A and B are shown apart, each in its own frame.
Chain A
């Protein structure tokens, strides 16, 4: 049991979130192991983004607890947040800054030592293929490159957990493929949560899949086991998300 706890980089227990009286996330438990890529699937409005915002400390949960690398997010938010890199659905970019300036600011914001900033910026640019765009204004970059700057900002401080919220939305097929390769590379050394509603993306990148529907977790399974059973992800997704619809209404 203790060994299992040690392997966990992120553990959210029974979290819930209300907007007014409306429950968006209900009694959700989510665990992430070291070096695992978790695909968080769900139809639009299932509560994926709300869950990710809670895990990253952008939103306080109405109930439950979140532990990041053994640190309680609610008790010690700054210490816990240092372990997380987050790319929200809309990349948080300052369009008036150049790639270099933006990444330097992100590095300082994540409390990287002054003498290590230049190296961290170079490393992040190299990983995301931005080295030749260092002096470009972010506002002048294409959507795909902006998305990469967003990822560079999320990995600059070498976090243990990387959280990506629909990182391939709006990208062309080539960029999408590159992005998946990048995510797979990141997943080799860190834990990644990938939120998406594209099923093929999960199948090609993730180790484990969790499906959310109406704020609840309706499936949590290793992708390898899933495939071994001969189950089809798309059919399962449709069954689970429609099934609950008919039972709740």
Chain B
């Protein structure tokens, strides 16, 4: 049943021009930045030759592109998550799901799966762009995979949070703005932290991503991202169930 709902979400996204428009514009932006970094690498190459242990393709091109992707996705996720519960509620279609022999957990997980599969597509498009670099050299696979994993986990956190905020309101726009406000709040926290000290460092979602993007697959970061996602999914389920109970 989770797959049925996920499939419908994916289908609905690609039914409207929104998903296509987002994918195209975001991919153009990534490609432009990617080429910019490639250009910078080519210019730096003669100087890099003189260093003993020079940074390669992956550090100079892949890592900054992933870092930019995280910021762009921060703006992109609310546009897709806002539709989920808020729009279903507004169009009265939520009744269809709630009257069917499907549990609320299945509905929430189905929606989560649909969105993460979509964003998995975005991540694979970015990664496929990097694979073209293989034509001129070798990639640091470890760094690439860890960066992609970090980006994917970051997206899972964003999507779970977005679903929760969408479940709180009937207005999709309010859901999007609310989500954006929370995400910018997380980003501000990240900007305030200058060193690796202090408790707040452990709560910054972007810092966890940065560790992944620098090639460090830390169990703390893995657990943090997983717990963050599960926490907001559970909150969404509870919120939707509460609506049934309290009206």
Contact = CB atoms under 8 A, between A and B. Distances in A.
A227 interface: no
Interface residues of A, number: 31
Given A109-B4, A109-B102, A59 B97 contact: no
Contact of B101 (A59, A81, A91, A96): A81
DSSP class of A's interface residues: helix, strand, loop or mixed? loop
Contact of B96 (A59, A79, A92): A92
A57 B98 contact: yes
Interface string A72-102: 0000011101101010101111111100010
B5 to A, nearest CB: 8
A110 B101 contact: yes
Given A60-B245, A105-B4, A96 B12 contact: yes
Contacts, number: 68
Given A109-B97, A109-B100, A96 B16 contact: yes
B96 A78 contact: no
Given A59-B247, A78-B103, 15 more contacts: A58-B95, A58-B98, A60-B244, A84-B99, A92-B94, A94-B91, A96-B15, A96-B16, A97-B11, A97-B15, A101-B11, A108-B4, A109-B4, A109-B100, A111-B101
17 contacts: A17-B247, A57-B99, A59-B244, A77-B103, A82-B101, A86-B99, A90-B92, A92-B94, A92-B95, A92-B96, A94-B93, A97-B15, A105-B8, A109-B1, A109-B96, A111-B101, A153-B96
Interface of A: 17, 19, 56-60, 77-79, 81-82, 84, 86, 88, 90-97, 101, 105-106, 108-111, 153
